[in-house]
Structure 1
Amino acid sequence: MKTRTSLLTAAVLVAGLAVGPSVLPAAASAPAAPTAAPTAAPSPGPALEAAIAGLPRADATAALVRLGGKEGVWRGSSGVHDLETGRPADPAARFRAGSVTKVFTAAVALQLAREGRLDLDRSARSYLPELIPASYGRVTVRQLLNHTHGIPAPDFPGTTVEEAYANRFQVHAPEDMVRSATSKKPEFAPGERQHYLNIGYTVTGLLIERVTHDSYERQVARRVLGPLGLRDTYFPGTNPRITGPHNHGYQTMRLDDGTTGLRDVSVWGSTDGWAAGDVISTTADLERFTGALFKGRVVRGPLLEEMFTLPEVTDFGTGEPAAYSVGLSMKVLGGREVWGKTGGRWGYNAAIASTRDGSRTLVYGVTSTDAKGQGMNRTAESIMVAAYGRP
């Protein structure tokens, strides 16, 4: 299988930069022409417009943003669909949402817990005895979901973005990833620390399949996507392409001629993420999902509080207090708690966020050139700060 490789010269990038932002007005009805300025925007509107102005630039080629909630509505898009043509970014485009997938996975697991089909305090090994070894026999379902399980990450070929690109079409079976991870020693005793990794959600996806006798993807579709009408959200499986309208993603890496530049990475397999990171969606769908989740329409009853409860442990790497709950994470921005989830796949960053009362929600999709980097993408960070304020 081959994918189109784009070796971008400085001249092409400069041509892309000449395309200005396309900002949509704040409106609950159909969007107006992309050249119009936002009207009746809430107070973060000007800051959000500034945050996404001037795309494409070094760190991102496009940004799609939706602000909602009781405090007002703002919608905007900026940048280009692709650097070759320079045409404006499609505000309704699909994109890889990465670890936002974990919120869908957690929601289904909590639904199953409410139905009595999955016990959060029961060991994962009791459900998957042939896969989870005795050395991880004490890990509970809840610990998988809040990243306090102590299972290390599985091994993948290569350690650099260039090596990952060379292996972008490799198919990873979830069972093999679990075997790779659990063949190693635990990082810590279950429940003692927190380490944010994908592997807990890979195991959770397999638990969902075991107790429902159905595929993970069908269960999410039946329980979440269908009831909420999320028609542009789907799981790609082994297909490395984004089906339907989408803006191209680019990643900074070493090119074939030895120079460093941008490569089109829109076509890239995501089986390594699976139930932890392979969902493809739109800002409209993710906004609807976020609103329904925080209103208790996805996870009903007391179990919703699992998503807003941080374990009383410290982070494995930093020693700071735990920041991840079941499915979500929490950060204090602008003096108030903001709950949500970010995600990153090569060429794409995404996030959903909301205050606990749903008064201000945020969804963005950014085609970032440094996705999966050490720090937060600059455009994505600017959007978050514009919406909620600084930490």
Structure 2
Amino acid sequence: MSSTLDPDELQAALDAVHRAGVPGVFAEAREGAQIWRGAAGVADLATGRPATPDLRHRVGSVTKTFTAAVVLQLVEAGEIGLDTPIGHYLPRLVPGERGAAITVAMLINHTSGLAEYLPHAYPSLATFPDLAKTTPKSLDDNRFTRWGQVELIELGVAAPAVGAPGKPPGVYSNTNYLLLCQLMESVTATSAEKFITRNDIERAGLRHTELPTGPEIDGPHSQHYESWFGMIDPPRDYSVYDMSWVGPAASLISTVSDLNRFFDLLLAGEIIGHSMLERMQRTVAVISFEGKTIDYGLGLHRFEIPGRGTFWGHDGSVWGGGAITLTSADRSRQACVALNLQRWNTLTPSGRPQPHAIDDAFAALQRSLTGARPELPQL
């Protein structure tokens, strides 16, 4: 079978995302032994420095796959039980009936019913996801705020439940993953950052990936431009930001090449064993922050790509930065792309995001990167 990595097509798709309004976009696609890397636009609007495919970038909730993988390693080692209540391990953080009802697996696949802490930690986002009633003020106010994980977990646990434990659809929540980090630390007597670094990042040989300890991104990187639905105009750079507000739930810095390498090894059964990988790929319906229903396993999304079938991966965003990584079920095709603009859609009077040219261009880019057939025009 000949490769469908067409450099001209892939570069044109990147260029279209840039022309639609994203300052910089960079990607890598792999098919068999062939690798294509490309970029379009700029990494820094102030200087005009071009985007390049080797840039380091904050990848948001792609981090969750890394976190889930090390928890599953501990399950394989017999140190954690997937179906054991979290209250058995962390009774002070999730006490009483909830602690007895919520299992470790429910935290990993977001069916715990625990609320997201973000609106409670960021006052001007207190009505999130009711976007029309939010403002971006908290983003600036908390740029250098140092949050404690327990502090954030307590906010999420104290908030009204968003569902019954174990009952789909689940509701996406960073509270779940900070609890997993506390669980990891209680079992290993090692910080979650160090444990993930040793057992994921170093194990996979990722040379440009790290969980940051400060607000800066070390090494060559893009700026991160946040629009917050048109309320920040022009979009503001948040590449310098204290990421303790998400910690090892969403703070990873990586490159498109490193992410492709990690997900290839993961799906090959080299990060966790094949039986645990099969459990990781059992999905349930989960409601995302954007209100969309996604197929979510134990730290993995399942994506159905028209004309290409099932892909596994994760997406993520932070203030101004985003990424998505996709690996076909047979590992024959991989794609990873990063953007340095987030929440570009403006809002209708009712508070719903309006369609933007970036949406279509980015969807077309993902089709090209995964080798999917172009969508036919409707007659």
- TM bracket, shorter-chain basis: 0.7 to 0.9
TM, length-normalised to structure 2: 0.84
1:148 aligned residue (111, 127, 134): 111
- 2:111 is aligned with what amino acid? T
User: 1:23-80 CA deviation, whole Å, 9 max, x = no partner?
Assistant: xxxxxxxxxxxxxxxxx97345443212211575463111111111328432111111
User: 1:293-345 CA deviation, whole Å, 9 max, x = no partner?
Assistant: 1111111130111221113x575999987511111111211241111100101
Distance 1:167 1:115, change over 3 A: same
| Structure-2 residue corresponding to 1:250 | 225
Distance 1:41 1:86, change over 3 A: farther
- 1:228 is aligned with what amino acid? A
Distance across 2 between alignment mates of 1:318 and 1:280:
23
Map 1:47-196 → 2, pairs under 5 A: 47-53=9-15, 56-57=18-19, 59-70=21-32, 72-137=34-99, 138-154=101-117, 155-157=120-122, 158-159=124-125, 160-193=135-168, 194-196=170-172
| Structure-2 residue corresponding to 1:227 | 203
Instruction: Find the residue that maps to 2:326 and give its secondary structure.
Output: strand
Distance across 2 between alignment mates of 1:64 and 1:234:
19
CA contact (8 A) 1:310 1:322 kept: no
Distance across 2 between alignment mates of 1:166 and 1:316:
26
Larger displacement relative to structure 2 (284-293 or 120-129): 284-293
Distance across 1 between alignment mates of 2:289 and 2:237:
33
Distance 1:383 1:308, change over 3 A: same
| Structure-1 residue corresponding to 2:253 | 280
CA contact (8 A) 1:345 1:371 kept: no
Instruction: Find the residue that maps to 1:284 and give its secondary structure.
Output: helix
1:367 aligned residue (340, 353, 361): 340
Instruction: Find the residue that maps to 2:234 and give its secondary structure.
Output: strand
Distance across 1 between alignment mates of 2:345 and 2:232:
21
2:193 counterpart of 1:217 = yes
Instruction: Find the residue that maps to 2:23 and give its secondary structure.
Output: strand
Instruction: Find the residue that maps to 2:325 and give its secondary structure.
Output: strand
CA contact (8 A) 2:116 2:172 kept: no
Structure 1: give runs of 5+ residues left out of the alignment: 1-39
- 2:110 is aligned with what amino acid? H
Distance 1:371 1:286, change over 3 A: farther
CA contact (8 A) 2:37 2:53 kept: no
CA contact (8 A) 1:58 1:369 kept: no
Deviation of 1:213 after TM superposition, in Å, equals: 0.8
User: 1:211-244 CA deviation, whole Å, 9 max, x = no partner?
Assistant: 111100111111111122212111113x111111
CA contact (8 A) 1:42 1:74 kept: no
| Structure-1 residue corresponding to 2:270 | 297
Q: CA RMSD in A?
A: 2.8
User: 1:95-146 CA deviation, whole Å, 9 max, x = no partner?
Assistant: 0010000010011011000000110000111101111121422100000001
Instruction: Find the residue that maps to 1:223 and give its secondary structure.
Output: helix
Distance across 2 between alignment mates of 1:70 and 1:59:
32
CA contact (8 A) 1:233 1:282 kept: yes
CA contact (8 A) 2:110 2:172 kept: yes
Distance 1:162 1:317, change over 3 A: closer
Instruction: Find the residue that maps to 1:267 and give its secondary structure.
Output: coil
Distance 1:340 1:259, change over 3 A: closer
Distance across 2 between alignment mates of 1:115 and 1:372:
45
TM, length-normalised to structure 1: 0.82
CA contact (8 A) 2:312 2:326 kept: yes
Distance 1:314 1:102, change over 3 A: closer
2:354 counterpart of 1:384 = no
Distance across 1 between alignment mates of 2:259 and 2:77:
25
Larger displacement relative to structure 2 (132-141 or 106-115): 132-141
- 1:386 is aligned with what amino acid? S
Distance 1:59 1:346, change over 3 A: farther
Aligned-residue sequence identity (percent) comes to 31
Distance across 2 between alignment mates of 1:268 and 1:183:
26
Distance across 2 between alignment mates of 1:217 and 1:309:
26
CA contact (8 A) 2:172 2:289 kept: no
Structure 2: give runs of 5+ residues left out of the alignment: 126-134, 347-352
